[in-house]
Amino acid sequence: MNESERHLRLLTETTEAVNSSLDLEEVLSLIARKVAEALEADACFVYLYDERGDQLILRATYGAQLGEEARKPRMRIGEGLTGSSAAIRQPVMIAEGANLDPRFKAFKNLPEGEYESILAVPILAREKLEGALNVRTRHRREFSQAEIDLLVAIAGQVAQSIQHARLYEQARQRVHELEALAKISEAVSESLYVEESLEAIVKTTMQAVAATGAAIVLEDGRIAWPEGRKGKYAVRIPLRWRRRQVGELVCDKDTPFSDGERALLGSIAHHAAVAIEHGRAVMRGVLAQEIHHRVKNNLQTVASLLRLHARADNVDVQQVLADSVNRILAIAAVHEVLTERRDDDVELADLIERLRKTIAQGLGSSKNVSTRLEQISLPGGQATALALVFTELLQNAFEHGGDNVTIELSQSEGEVQLTVADDGLGMSGEGKGIGLEIVRALVNDELHGKLEMRNENGLRAGISFPL
């Protein structure tokens, strides 16, 4: 077998190995081992690019052990030999005395000084920097151009594997967050006593973000429920109810909080504020039965929507999660309006404005939206169905429609009309998909109305139902 055939076989084997898992840590460990074996090197170091900090962070090694220092080695782009390779997007090779090069960067807990040679290459996915890796040998070694080309080719395949693993990790984290929020929602809905709800919230918070400690501090300074111990890092999230602070959620960790963890804690804090105020209302004998009824119905609606997705074939898990989040937010908006008003009717204009802003922010949409909304009140059950229908129609207009979206709400002769129109290419055929199936079912079964979708300088989707 000549050198070209051997390199092709090594590239194929390495690609198969790193594509055999979606777990990021497992992928990176496989990369380090397979790359070192492919080039018969003594060690391999794999760095991932942290875009927020604009730095490379060591995530996997083969042939060398990290010291006891907790902080992982990291370098800025252009710093060190590997950082220099990432900066110029080209391989960097030194055959001898690599640690004497002026660009060399030493780490206390990484024994790179014992290696003579280095070959470092960037990990690029369509010119986007995903990281960098290097191979090292203890003795002098002049890497051939064929070996350099092989490592560059391997890095290109590795980049795709890293992207897939990151997407999988993000999806798994999102599921973890939704499970935590579901547990908290269940605790709030099942318990009529605020202490029980807060206990469940604090314990779930610690599990969700791997915290060392957490507590709910009420507005009077009293600690309603403490758990665990203090950590090196702490966050304090205000609990707000109707623009009034009713307490704080305090959380401690031994490691810094990520942006995702802070966002999750913000959602948990909202649930805690709801639990406190609802618990106080229950203790006064107010809203107890109504809150239980509403939350139960809402959870049943969410369960029905998830079962509908579960029966479908070839679903996009990430899209299902995103759609489910928007539907849950729509139901939450109705629940929030009902709670604020403390009666059974919802002002549709206010509800639609809340949903419009929430959906636009969630999708990152910058489309031009114009509204013509009449003041119409609707019972809570109908409002929930309408909120889900509106969410599906508006999300479809944002994702598939033109640059301009129009929302109209009116009533005439005892009927409510809601229209979402855009100036895009319109709809081909009858229109299929789970989202549209949900809309048709809600309009027919819950609102007892009719749905009309037609191409009119774009797509115009309208529903009408008796008030």
Q: How far is the C-alpha of 341 from the C-alpha of 327, rounded, in Å?
A: 22
Q: Tell me the backbone φ, ψ of residue 193, rounded to 5 degrees.
A: -120, 130
Quick one: which of 152, 118, 437 has its CA closest to 308? 437
Check if the beta carbon of residue 14 is closer than 8 Å to that of residue 157.
yes
Q: How far is the C-alpha of 241 from the C-alpha of 443, rounded, in Å?
A: 33
pLDDT at 285: 47
Q: Which residue(s) pair with 107 in the sheet?
A: 110
Collect all residues with Cβ–Cβ distance below 8 Å to 402 and sequence separation of at least 6: 367, 422, 423, 424, 425, 458
Name the residue type at position 252: D
CA 177 from centroid of its chain's CA atoms: 8
Phi-psi region of 261 (alpha: psi -120 to 50; beta: other; left: phi over 0): alpha
Strands (E), 289-426: 345-347, 368-373, 377-379, 404-412, 415-422
Q: How far is the C-alpha of 354 from the C-alpha of 12, rounded, in Å?
A: 52
pLDDT at 339: 54
* Residue linked to tokens 């999230």: 237
Instruction: Give exposure, 180-208, as e/b (b: 16+ Cβ within 10 Å).
Output: bbebbbebbbebeebebbbbbbbbbbbeb
pLDDT at 163: 78
CB neighbour class for 120 (10 Å; exposed up to 12, middle 13-18, buried from 19): buried
pLDDT at 93: 93
pLDDT at 325: 66
Q: Tell me the backbone φ, ψ of residue 418, rounded to 5 degrees.
A: -125, 130
pLDDT at 120: 93
Name the residue type at position 378: L
Strands (E), 21-157: 43-50, 55-62, 74-76, 92-94, 117-125, 128-137
Q: Nearest 10 degrees: CA dihedral of 124, 125, 126, 132?
A: -10
Q: Which domains does the chain have, with CATH numbers?
A: 3-168 (3.30.450.40), 191-286 (3.30.450.40), 287-467 (3.30.565.10)
* Residue linked to tokens 């979708």: 453
Name the residue type at position 14: T
Q: What is the DSSP string of 378-399?
A: EEHHHHHHHHHHHHHHHHHHHH
Q: How far is the C-alpha of 406 from the C-alpha of 397, rounded, in Å?
A: 10
CA 75 from centroid of its chain's CA atoms: 27
Q: The dihedral of CA 333, 464, 449, 379: what is its sign?
A: positive
Check if the beta carbon of residue 34 is closer than 8 Å to that of residue 18.
yes
pLDDT at 183: 72
- Does the pTM surpass 0.85? The reply is no
Antiparallel, parallel or unpaired: β 459-466 and 377-379: unpaired
pLDDT at 306: 60
Quick one: which of 398, 406, 453, 399 has its CA closest to 431? 453
Check if the beta carbon of residue 453 is closer than 8 Å to that of residue 443.
no
Name the residue type at position 297: N
Q: What is the pLDDT along the chain (467 residues), one digit of tens a residue?
A: 566 676 677 667 766 766 666 677 787 888 888 888 888 899 999 999 988 888 999 888 888 776 555 567 888 999 999 999 999 999 999 999 988 888 988 887 677 778 899 999 999 988 889 899 999 999 999 998 988 988 888 888 888 777 777 777 777 767 766 677 777 676 666 655 667 778 888 888 888 888 899 888 888 777 877 788 888 889 998 988 877 888 888 999 988 888 778 888 888 888 888 777 776 665 554 443 444 444 555 555 556 656 655 555 665 656 656 666 666 666 666 556 555 554 557 788 888 888 888 878 777 778 888 999 998 888 777 887 888 888 888 888 888 888 898 999 999 888 999 998 998 888 776 656 667 777 788 888 888 899 988 888 888 988 999 87
Q: Supply the DSSP symbol for 110.
A: B
